[in-house]
Amino acid sequence: MKKLPTLIIIALALAFVFAASPPGAAEGVGTVTQVGTDNAAYIYQEVLSEVIVMQLGNENTASLDQVGAEHIAGVGQVGDKNEMEIQQLGQRDLLFSIQYGSYNYGSITQMHSSTPGSAGGNVSNNEAFTYQSGLYNILNLMQIGDDNIASVYQIDDGNETFIIQEQSALAMGGNATFVVQIGIGNWSASQQLGVNLISRLLQMGDGNSAVVNQNGLDNDSSVTQNGNQNSAIVNQG
Tens-digit pLDDT profile for residues 64-103: 999 989 999 999 999 999 999 999 998 999 999 999 999 9
Mean pLDDT throughout 174-192?
96
Tens-digit pLDDT profile for residues 39-63: 999 999 988 999 999 999 999 999 9
CB-based contact 206:183 (threshold 8 Å): yes
Cα separations in angstroms, 90 against 96, 100, 124, 159: 16, 28, 6, 29
The answer to which of 24-33, 52-61, 170-179 has the lowest mean pLDDT is 24-33
The answer to which of 37-46, 105-114, 195-204, 214-223 has the lowest mean pLDDT is 105-114
CB-based contact 157:131 (threshold 8 Å): no
Using the predicted structure, report yes or no on whether residue 224 has a pLDDT greater than 80.
Answer: yes
- Average pLDDT of the chain is 88
8 CB contacts (<8 Å, ≥6 apart)?
none
Using the predicted structure, report yes or no on whether residue 5 has a pLDDT greater than 60.
Answer: no
6 CB contacts (<8 Å, ≥6 apart)?
78, 100, 133
Using the predicted structure, report yes or no on whether residue 17 has a pLDDT greater than 80.
Answer: no
Mean pLDDT throughout 213-228?
95
Confidence of residue 121 (pLDDT cuts 50, 70, 90): low
pLDDT of residue 49: 92
pLDDT of residue 208: 98
pLDDT of residue 171: 65
CB-based contact 113:80 (threshold 8 Å): no
